[in-house]
């Protein structure tokens, strides 16, 4: 598995933001309001990935009293990190498109609420992408370790 390239994530975010913004032009008035629940949910996922990365890195480097980590567990965490990075970029793009569209309508009550919620959701999606990239980084085996240290 190759490391996630941040340029691809930025490209996904921009493409999905443009598509969402374009689709909202004719559809926004018929959509329900945006729920606020994405913000704490994605934030909890990001915190979990940061903690998992921190613990995995400590276990790979055998710091303190940590037990060795199973290679399959590290592979699963790396897959989770990769999926979270791409998912966060895609949903971040969707929320960015909503935010851009509703920024034009801030004088109205419902679009202002949607603007604040989608803006917050966009920010936590960016935090999730950063947490996923950190977790992916933590899953790497150090290059200078010898075979018996693994």
pLDDT at 48: 96
pTM: 0.87
**Tokens (6 digits) for 51:** 């903690």
pLDDT band at 144 (very low <50, low <70, confident <90, very high): low
The answer to whether residue 125 scores a pLDDT higher than 90 is: yes
Over residues 85-117, the pLDDT tens digits come to 999 999 999 999 999 999 888 788 788 889 999
Tokens 């559809």 belong to: 27
pLDDT band at 30 (very low <50, low <70, confident <90, very high): confident
User: How far from chain centre, in Å, is Cα 2?
Assistant: 18
pLDDT at 127: 97
| Rounded Cα–Cα distance for residues 41 and 118 (Å) | 14
- Interacting residues of 86 by C-beta distance below 8 A, sequence separation 6+: 4, 9, 12
Closest listed residue to residue 115, CA positions, set 130, 128, 104: 104
What does residue 138 show for φ and ψ, rounded to 5 degrees? -70, -20
Mean pLDDT of 50-79: 89
């Amino acid at each position: 598995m190759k490391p996630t390239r941040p340029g691809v994530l930025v490209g996904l975010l921009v493409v999905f933001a443009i598509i969402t913004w374009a689709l909202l032009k004719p559809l926004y008035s018929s959509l329900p309001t945006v729920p606020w629940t994405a913000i704490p949910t994605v934030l909890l996922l990001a915190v979990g990935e940061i903690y998992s990365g921190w613990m995995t890195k400590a276990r790979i480097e055998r710091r303190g009293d940590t037990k060795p980590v199973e290679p399959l567990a590290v592979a699963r965490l790396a897959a989770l990190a990769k999926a979270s990075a791409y998912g966060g970029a895609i949903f971040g793009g969707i929320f960015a498109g909503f935010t851009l569209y509703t920024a034009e309508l801030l004088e109205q009550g419902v679009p202002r609420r949607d603007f604040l919620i989608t803006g917050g959701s966009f920010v936590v999606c960016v935090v999730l992408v950063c947490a996923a990239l950190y977790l992916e980084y933590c899953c790497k085996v150090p290059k200078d370790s010898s075979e018996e240290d693994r």
